[in-house]
Amino acid sequence: MYLAGERRWRKTGWVLLFLAPSLAGLILFTLGPILASLGLTLFQWDLIRPLEFVGLDNFREIFASGEFWSALSHTLYFVIGYIPLVMLLALGVALLLNQRVRGLALYRTAFFIPVVSSWVVISLLGKWAFNPRYGLVNYALGLVGVQGPNWLFSSRWAMPAIILTSVWKDIGFVMVMFLAGLQSIPHEYREASALDGAQAWNHFRWITLPLLSPTTFFALIISLIASFQVFDQVWIMSETGTKSATTVLVQQIVQNAFSYGRMGTAAALSWVLFAFIFAITLVQLRLQRRWVAYD
């Protein structure tokens, strides 16, 4: 009987049926353009005049420019500030919400409203909230006797403001993933959550966390990939004076492609960025075997 099942597994026809729509779209609308942009890295093009072959000049130019390295450092600053904050806070909230809370739907909705809003809306809101004079944040800080900094107008506090806004927006997103993961954990494991202190921690550490690991892995990878590509909120929230403290890599790409008409440079920059993201994801995938528990 098992043999019959095995043969089923391998029937290529079935694979194609399930895979084809998605793969076809991927190849045509994503992979194709991506390969085109890979080719573009060896040229310079403004979309109108003919392509001009420049070989590896684009890459040489990028690595020699101060802007690239500062954009890279700003991007890394964002990633390192954002990822731990959003993952830990989201996990914490998910754990809280998983306690058979009454009104779960309401709480979850509260956390999710920032998630469904567009980055444009959230960035504008953030820009306004972090306004040193009229904004909510400094007003709230003032209520507890703290003088808030100049946030987006200060080279030191501009990126933190952007990070905080991003965390605020995305907490619900990651939390929902954790919550779905927690709630897929079979019922009998969850009963034990009513235990007291020490046992609860052990239960969390040795049962919940491992069972949650596929979700954690997914959330971590998606968040890492997305945070390296941060753009919208930085672009909208940065103020003229502090732009040099916050410009990120995708911003550089967009500038070169859309403002300067240097598509070759833009393509080269995106492939450098891709290399970073790829390396990090590879590391994650390798580590996956160590800490992610699949069935």
Partner 1 sequence: MKTRRFITVLLAALLLLAFVPAFRAQAQTTTITYFTFSAAPDHLKDLDLMIADFKKANAGIDVKVQTAPFADYFTLLQTDLNGGAGPDVFELNYENFVTYAAKNVLLDLSSQTAQDKTWDAKAYYGRALEIFQQKGKQYGLPESFSTVVLLYNKALFDAAKIDYPKADWTWQDAIAAAKKLTDKSKGVWGLYSPVQFYEFFKKAAQGDCKFFNDAQTESLLNSPECVTVLNTMLSFTKEGVMPTPADLGGVKDDELFKSGKLAMWVNGIWQFSAMKDAPFAWDIQLEPGITRKAHHFFANAVAVNANSKNAQAAYTWARFFTSSPAAAKTRVAASWELPALTDKTLVADYLKVTPPANRQAVFDALNSVIPIPVIERQSEMQDKVTAALDKAVSGEFTPQQALEQAKKDVDALLKK
Partner 2 sequence: MTSHAQTLSTAQDIHAPRVRLWRAALYLTLTALAGVMLVPFIWMVSTSLTQDQYVLSATPSLIPNPATLGSYQKLLDLLNIGGMFVNSLFVAVLTTAGQVLTSSMAAYAFARMRWRGRDVVFALYLITLMVPAQVTIVPLFILMRLFGWVNTYQALILPGLFSAFGTFLLRQAFLTIPREIEEAAFIDGASHWTIFRRVVLPLVKPGLATLTVFSFMGSWNAYLWPLFVARQDSMLTLPVGLARLHGQYLTQWNLVMAGAVISIIPILIVYLFAQRAFVRGIALSGLKG
Residues that bind partner 1 (CB under 8 A): 46-49, 127-128, 131-135, 150, 153-155, 239-241, 243-244, 255, 258-261
Query: Residue 261 touches which of partner 2, partner 1, none (CB < 5 to 8 A by kind)?
Result: partner 1
**Residues 248 and 271: beta-carbon distance below 8 Å:** no
59 binds partner 2 per the rule CB under 8 A? no
Residue type, 135: G
Closest approach, Cβ 180 to partner 2, in A, equals 4
Contacted by 80, from partner 1, partner 2, none: CB < 5 to 8 Å by type = none
CB of 177 to partner 2, least distance (A): 7
**Residue (232 or 239) nearer to partner 1, CB:** 239
Please report whether residue 283 would count as binding partner 2 according to CB under 8 A. Answer: no
Nearer to partner 1, 148 or 214 (CB): 148
Q: Which is nearer to partner 2, 157 or 178 (CB)?
A: 178
Q: In this chain, which of 56, 121, 146, 283 binds partner 2, going by CB under 8 A?
A: 121
Tokens of 180: 């779905």
Q: How far is the CB of 6 from partner 2 (least distance, A)?
A: 9
C-beta neighbour count of 87 within 10 angstroms: 20
* 50 sits near partner 2 (criterion: CB under 8 A): no
Q: How far is the CB of 99 from partner 1 (least distance, A)?
A: 41
